[in-house]
Amino acid sequence: MYLATSLLDILLLADWNTRVVVIGTSMLGVAAGVVGAFLVLRKRALLGDTVSHAMLPGVVGAFLVMQAFGGGGKSFAGLLLGAAIAGVLAAWAIPVLRRATGLKDDAIMGVVLGGGFGLGIAMLGVAQAMPGGNQAGLESFIYGRTASMVQDDAIGIGVTAVVTLLIAVLLAKEFRLLCFDESFGRALGRKEGVLDLGLMVLAVTVTVVGLQAVGLILVIALLIIPGAAARFWTDEFVRMVSLAGVIGAVACWLGASISAMAPDLPAGSIIVLTLSSLFGLSMLVGTRRGAVKRIIQSRKLRRRTGWQHLMRAAAESLESQGTDTWTIEQLSPLRSWSTSRLRALHRSAIRRGDIISCEDGYALTESGRTAADRVVRNHRLWELFLIRHADIAASHVDRDADMVEHVLGDELVAELETILAGSDVALVSPHALGGQA
């Protein structure tokens, strides 16, 4: 009971300091979601990871420098500046090293990430060993600690996030072009180098302000998960980017609130786990490409194909036998289907009203007759089409289309039909092709 009320208090931002921190972090979530969506679409997710790890020596270096100049090393802005410099340096070093060595991206990123982080750890060791140094708090950059965030930090984070967001929105059109078709962009005179640099600067900015909230190991999640999750819900660019912002904000809000409840709930972990849950949820039930939707689709396709096979088998069996009815036993050798599957297909066709069950077996209804004829005709047109136009990649043809004309156009269908009428015996089957529309 106590837990529930305190969570509610926090979610509703009852406490002033918590309120500022949570709002600041949520703004960060929006900015990270939006910028990260671009990063995901540009397929640069791991570059962001490398850059954020490589920021550690920047943070510690800034601390050491400030310490040396007697600043006490506690200026938050100074540490972030160090992080930003190191991040930009890493982002710049990766393409340079790739060109110089001819090695693949992943190897270069691994080297920069591991080496950079190691350098940071080594420098941290120095900072800890230095007499009189107060390096406490530096480690919070590794894991993040919203709890230690004060009002000024949160306001700084919020303002930076809003500015970043604004720039991202203004450049959305250019980023869309860059991510979708960079060579066309170049042909329009957009310098992809400039745009990529702009994107990296935005990402580094978000990463830097995100360090305090989630830490440099996990900040990459804040960037990439919202965009990846949003993709399951929409096929539209603006909607996807906006949704990514929303997901980022929700996760940060929830995460920061929950972690404010107890001291041993690190905010970074909670935010990332919230994000991961949202991702998992999106992947399952997303309305555009969620797993459930795709399972339903593939079941539908299976059902439809089964129905088409049944109608075709029935029609062809009726033609060859010259009767009006058929039995399961007659159809079963026509395809590799089990009797139980065949029975199930019959049951569902009866429910659709395409066939009826009668004493001698099954018969087509009026509407079933029309449907069966169309299935047979379409099938034969397709076969003919594929034979005549084998040069066209078959994967580009929607063979399930009800009306062949929608896909191939009236003229081609008319041409195919002429051929079909002229050569029916040779072409498809020994059965007469009665009822061809």
Partner 1 sequence: MDRPPEIQPTVARGSEHDPDAAISIHDLTVAYDRRPVLWDVDLDVPTGCLAAIVGPNGAGKSTLIKACLDLLPRVSGDVRMFGSPWRSVRSRVAYVPQRETVDWDFPVSALDVVAMGTYGRLGWLRPVGKAQKQAAMHALDRVGLSDYAARQISQLSGGQQQRVFLARALVQEADLYLMDEPFASVDAATEQAIVEVLRDLRSSGATLVVVHHDLQTVAEYFEHIILLNMRVVASGAMDETLTADNLRATYGGRLTLLEQAATALGRLSKDR
Partner 2 sequence: MTLDYDGWIILIGVLVAACCAIPGSWLVVRGMGMMGDAISHAVLPGIAIGFLVSGTRSGGWMFLGAAISGVLAAVMTQIVHRWGRVDRGAAMGLVFTAFFSLGLLLIVQTADTVDLDPNCVLYGAIELAPLDTISLAGLDVPRIVMPLAIVLLANVGLTLLLFKELLATAFDPGLATAQGFDARWLHYGLMVLTAATCVACFEAVGSIITVALLVAPPAAALMLTRRMRWVIVLATALGGLAAVLGHFSALTVPGWILGGGLDTSSAGMMAVASLVIFLFMATFAPGRGVLARRWVSRRDAMRVAVEDALGLLFRLEERAVMLDRVEVEGLLQSDVRIGGRLGTVLTQIRRGSLAEVDNGAWKLTESGRTAARSLVRAHRLWETYLAGRASIPSSHLHAAAERLEHVTDPTLAEQLRTEVGDASDDPHGRPIPPG
Interface residues with partner 1 (CB under 8 A)? 41, 170-174, 176-177, 179-181, 183-190, 231, 234-237, 239-240, 389, 392-393, 396-398, 407-409, 411-412
Interface pick for partner 2 out of 11, 13, 46, 147 (rule CB under 8 A): 46
- The distance of closest approach from Cβ of residue 3 to partner 2 in the complex, given in angstroms and rounded to an integer, is 15
Phi and psi at 363, nearest 5°, equal -140, 155
Number of Cβ atoms within 10 Å of the Cβ of 359 = 6
- The distance of closest approach from Cβ of residue 66 to partner 2 in the complex, given in angstroms and rounded to an integer, is 15
Residue 315's H or E segment, with its range, is helix 291-321
As beta bridge partners, residue 356 has 363
> Which CB, 143 or 237, lies closer to partner 2?
143
Q: Is 104 in the site for partner 2 (CB under 8 A)?
A: yes
409 binds, among partner 2, partner 1, none (CB under 5 to 8 A by kind): partner 1
- The distance of closest approach from Cβ of residue 121 to partner 2 in the complex, given in angstroms and rounded to an integer, is 3
Of residues 113-172, those binding partner 2 (CB under 8 A)? 113-126, 129-131, 139, 142-143
> Which CB, 122 or 166, lies closer to partner 2?
122
Number of residues interacting with partner 2: please give it, by CB under 8 A. 65
Of residues 198-257, those binding partner 2 (CB under 8 A)? 217-218, 220-221, 224-225, 227-228, 231-232
Number of Cβ atoms within 10 Å of the Cβ of 368 = 21
389 binds, among partner 1, partner 2, none (CB under 5 to 8 A by kind): partner 1
- The distance of closest approach from Cβ of residue 125 to partner 2 in the complex, given in angstroms and rounded to an integer, is 3
179 binds, among partner 1, partner 2, none (CB under 5 to 8 A by kind): partner 1
What single-letter DSSP state applies at residue 375? H
72 binds, among partner 1, partner 2, none (CB under 5 to 8 A by kind): none
258 binds, among partner 2, partner 1, none (CB under 5 to 8 A by kind): none
Question: By the 8 A CB rule, do 339 and 306 touch?
Answer: no
> Which CB, 258 or 375, lies closer to partner 2?
258
Strand order of the sheet with strand 361-364?
325-326, 361-364, 355-358
Phi and psi at 162, nearest 5°, equal -65, -40
Query: How many Å separate Cα 80 from the centre of its chain?
Result: 31
> Which CB, 89 or 119, lies closer to partner 2?
119
What single-letter DSSP state applies at residue 189? T
* Selection from 229, 204, 230, 198 nearest residue 216 by Cα: 204
Number of Cβ atoms within 10 Å of the Cβ of 348 = 15
142 binds, among partner 1, partner 2, none (CB under 5 to 8 A by kind): partner 2
d(CA 287, CA 249) in angstroms, rounded, equals 20
- The distance of closest approach from Cβ of residue 45 to partner 2 in the complex, given in angstroms and rounded to an integer, is 4
* Selection from 291, 283, 275 nearest residue 36 by Cα: 275
Beta strands (DSSP E) in 291-400 are: 325-326, 355-358, 361-364
Which 3 state secondary structure label does DSSP give 143?
helix
Question: By the 8 A CB rule, do 270 and 259 touch?
Answer: yes
Which residue type does 268 have?
A: G
Contact set with partner 2 (CB under 8 A): 40, 43-46, 48-49, 53, 97, 100-104, 106-126, 129-131, 139, 142-143, 217-218, 220-221, 224-225, 227-228, 231-232, 264-266, 268-270, 272-273, 275-276, 279, 283, 289, 291
